[in-house]
Amino acid sequence: MSKRTAIYCRVSTKEQTTENQKRDLIRYCEQRELAIVEVFEDQGVSGSKQNRPALDAMMAKARLGAFDTVLVWKFDRYARSTTHLITSLAEFQKLNIDFISLNEKNIRDGTL
């Protein structure tokens, strides 16, 4: 059975686009036969903010069990604060959700 996957993309200015991130992440899912549940995109939102519209929506759906995996392009697209990243990873672990960064080492079961 294919893992249900949520993609999260973020750029910090309105002049930037998430298209490159999204393209790479969709390709990753296609190559591994991961089922994309939804693509969440925050555009023009600083990564230093823990509350972002698309991130908040994704976390709400994570808590409802809507997917098994979160896929991001890089850690800093998800969080700019180590504390925010670690807190989120702990919550994903409790929810039994894998967190994958395309450009960094994958994190599973709370270990690097």
Which tokens go with 29? Answer: 């899912």
- N- to C-terminal Cα separation, the chain: 25
- Tens of pLDDT, residue by residue over 1-41, are 689 999 999 999 989 999 999 999 999 999 999 999 999 99
Tokens at 55, concatenated: 């991130």
Please tell us whether the domain made up of 4-101 is placed in CATH 3.30.565.10: no
Closest CA to 42 of 12, 20, 69: 12
pTM of the prediction? 0.89
Cα 55 off chain centre by: 8
Is-contact 69 5, C-beta < 8 A? yes
How many other C-beta atoms are found inside a 10 Å radius of the C-beta of residue 104?
Answer: 13
Q: For the segment 44-85, what is each residue's pLDDT rounded down to a tens digit?
A: 887 777 789 999 999 999 999 999 999 999 999 998 888 999
CA-based nearest residue to 17, from 38, 40, 47, 42? 42
Active site members = 12
